[in-house]
Amino acid sequence: MSEPIRLIVGLGNPGPEYETTRHNAGFWLADQLADDLHATFNLEKSFFSWVAKARFEGENVIIAKPITFMNKSGQAAGALMRFYKLKPEQVLVLHDELDLLPGQVKMKKGGGHAGHNGLRDIQSAFGTPDFWRLRLGIGHPRTLGLAQQVVNFVLHTPRNEELREIEDGMNRCRVMMPALLRGDFEQATRQLYAPQKA
């Protein structure tokens, strides 16, 4: 068994104008996980975040949505990790991923930031890339046959069929979350990649 996940940080941009945009996929999943754990978000300015404190099998689990813009996400993640005396490998970051099709989800520990400003800032705040990432596929304008620039694409709302696929991917993340909170990454991975029942 690995260290169980104790801090979940969803990435997105604050403010109603960004709420439904693809770049906020990490926030969407953070909201769903807080619901699953019956936790409510409260604004905690000292952590630069909306923070939901949950309990899972007697242990504390913190879910956060930074109130800084995406490229300053490390400020919140770093403050929370230090305050709760956690190791980077106990942190799971939820973020949108251009290189995966809508609905595809991949989990990995460590690695580069692939130009994702939120990941880049967290890596620099932690001083290590050794935290877990849940990569939520939103597709890329090229693979989806769109002429939009990437910047424009991530700051727009997904089309209905893409949104359905993204939500399916998030539902698989919700199913495997208890395993992650127990530190059973093997089981979590099996659940995440299990073939979907029609």
Binding-site annotation: residue ranges? 18, 69, 71, 117
Q: Which of 13, 24, 31, 18 is nearest to 173 (CA)?
A: 31
Q: Which of 120, 117, 112, 119 is nearest to 151 (CA)?
A: 117
Neighbouring residues of 83: CB distance < 8 A, sequence distance ≥ 6: 47
Annotated binding site for tRNA: 18, 69, 71, 117
Neighbouring residues of 186: CB distance < 8 A, sequence distance ≥ 6: none
According to DSSP, residue 86 is labeled -
Q: Which DSSP string do the residues of 28-83 spell out, in sequence order?
A: HHHHHHHHHTT--EEEEGGGTEEEEEEEETTEEEEEEEESS-GGGHHHHHHHHHHH
Neighbouring residues of 116: CB distance < 8 A, sequence distance ≥ 6: 95, 97
Helix (H, G, I), strand (E, B) or coil at 105: strand
DSSP H helices, 84-159, are 117-126, 150-154
Check if 23 is active-site. Answer: yes
Residues identified as active-site: 23
